[in-house]
Amino acid sequence: MINWLDFALYLLIYSFLGWCTEVLYYAVTRQQFCNRGFLTLPFLLSYGVAFDLMILTLPALAGRYVVQFLFTMAILSVAESFADHMNRQLGPKVHWGGERPRLLGGSVQGLVSSSAVAAICYVTYLVVHPLLLGVMTLVPEPLKLAAVWVFFAMMAADFVGVLYTLRTGGVRAYERREAHSSEGRIAGRLTNAVWRRLQRAYPGIRGMAPKEQEVYTFAKGVCLDKLVWVFLTSALLGDIIETFWCGLVNGHWMSRSSVLYGPFSFVWGLGAVVLTVTLQRLAKRDSFFVFAAGFFIGGTYEYMCSVFTELVFGTVFWDYSHMPLNIGGRTNVLFCFFWGVLAVFWIKGIYPKMSRLIEGFPALAGKVITWVVVTLMVCNGLLTCAAMLRYNTRAVQPRPANAFEEFIDRQYGDGFMEHRWPNMIVTEKSETPAG
């Protein structure tokens, strides 16, 4: 099973190594030191997240080097897109400017640059990671835990400082603080230092003028509120489509939901969010670029969902081993083709209409309903996780250990779970008692 402590350390280590790589890149191209990260600390979290995902998925593709490299490119591209998106969301009144070319920008320069970064990361995974894995076995667990707590606490404080600067910053605010620096306000000096660093890291960054700031519209642009409704709508429609597809193809109806309550397929919902965030820049590009990006990103996403459910819950919800050109039974070329076609229809047609519909919600009512629904879905998801984990351990530990497990056994017994997810397969690893 997953050792979350090691994954937290890998996140820190590879975030630091990614930061070093970016610093070296800008030192060569600009002849100066530049902390390119969002945080002031030497961490680029997009690299850490990408490496954690690579560590989860690539071992199952051992020996298939071309496929592993393509997965690496897809993972890094998605991580970069989400990092850029988060920057814009955290600083909504800031023009960032000066971004490096990205693979999903649709340019040849972006393709070459991202391919080079992916090659460096993949070689690091092949050569450096095995050595790091050996070193990690020698580090005492208390020391690992202390390092994780200390560095994550430092990153949290750093994040708050940068966020405060973005929310209160801008050129004019910076100049006002500089003019009154003699007052000796510590907060002003810190925000000035952060803003100067951001100006070096993102040339052209500036605060928006009041006339550039639009009147508030609910879920304007690709924001969290918009993505919540994209997720919910796509999860609902995906469950309905998949239910009818399986009923027509297999001749019998079955639940395709991901949660205990409601017809919601999280795989479809999260897939729509991933396509929206990563492919929005290609909306005006030729359909071929959208198809190619959707082909690789969709296939990688489906593969990672299968790996995640097996590692975390010890269950497999789909198996394509019987189909030609499958990749570890978790996805296959045919379904990657479907992902590409879906990406074109989504970015070119479905999402723009859905976006306009969502933005038409009343602002206050939309905000309240959104977070009520989020709360309910989070509870639904947590309860589903608990039921899944208890279902996997019930065979070897039939007696509930506490009142909560007793409730789970009574409310969501084996019969209920197997009826809810008839295609669910428990892996052999999860059936073996621990120890």
pLDDT, position 15: 92
pLDDT tens, residue by residue, 359-414? 888 887 888 898 899 999 999 988 988 888 888 888 788 888 888 888 888 888 88
Do the Cβ atoms of 155 and 43 come closer than 8 Å?
yes
210 half-sphere exposure, CB direction, 13 A CA radius:
2
319-331, pLDDT tens digit by residue?
777 777 777 778 8
Q: Which of 242, 307, 308, 301 is nearest to 277 (CA)?
A: 301
Average per-residue pLDDT in the chain? Answer: 79
Distance of alpha carbon 195 from alpha carbon 166, whole angstroms: 8
Q: Is the pLDDT of residue 134 over 80?
A: yes
Pairwise pLDDT comparison (256 vs 22), residue with the higher score:
22
Do residues 319 and 329 make contact, with C-beta atoms less than 8 angstroms apart? yes
Is the model's pLDDT at 235 over the cut of 70?
yes
How high is the pLDDT of residue 211? 53
Tell me what the mean pLDDT of segment 208-230 comes to.
Answer: 72
**In the prediction, which pLDDT does 413 show?**
86
- Provide mean pLDDT across the span 153-180: 73
Residue 329 DSSP class: T
d(CA 91, CA 88): 5
Average pLDDT over residues 136-148: 88
Residue 2 has pLDDT above 70, yes or no: no
Q: How far, in Å, CA of 22 to CA of 31, rounded? A: 13
- E strand or H helix at 426, and its extent? strand 425-426
pLDDT digits (tens, 9 = 90+) for 181-207: 544 466 666 777 777 777 777 766 666
Query: 31 vs 388, which has greater pLDDT?
Result: 388
Mean pLDDT of 23-41: 77
Is 50 exceeded by the pLDDT of residue 434?
no
pLDDT at 73 > cutoff 80: yes
Farthest-apart Cα atoms in the chain, separation: 78
What's the whole-number mean pLDDT along residues 209-230? 73
pLDDT score of 152 more than 90: yes
Annotated domain spans of the chain: 4-212, 224-431
Of 396 and 346, more confident: 346
Which position has the higher pLDDT, 127 or 395?
127
What tokens appear for 144 in the block? Answer: 């690992």
Note the pLDDT of residue 183: 46
- C-alpha triplet 50, 271, 122: angle, nearest 5°: 25
**CA within 13 Å, CB half, 158:** 15
Considering 175-179, 298-302, 310-314, the range whose residues carry the highest mean pLDDT is: 298-302
Give 63 or 274, the one with higher predicted confidence.
274
Q: Which phi and psi angles does 421 have, rounded to 5°?
A: -130, 80
Closest C-alpha among 367, 377, 401 to residue 270: 377
Question: Comparing 97-111, 126-140, 362-376, which segment has the lowest mean pLDDT?
Answer: 97-111
Q: What is the pLDDT of residue 114?
A: 74
* pLDDT over 80 (residue 51): yes
pLDDT of residue 94: 67
Strand, helix or coil at 214?
coil
> What pLDDT, on a 0 to 100 scale, did the predictor assign at position 429?
43
Query: Which DSSP symbol is given to 206?
Result: E
For residue 92, the model assigns a pLDDT of 63
pLDDT more than 90, % of the chain: 7
> Would the pLDDT of 154 be above 90?
yes
In this prediction the pTM is 0.66
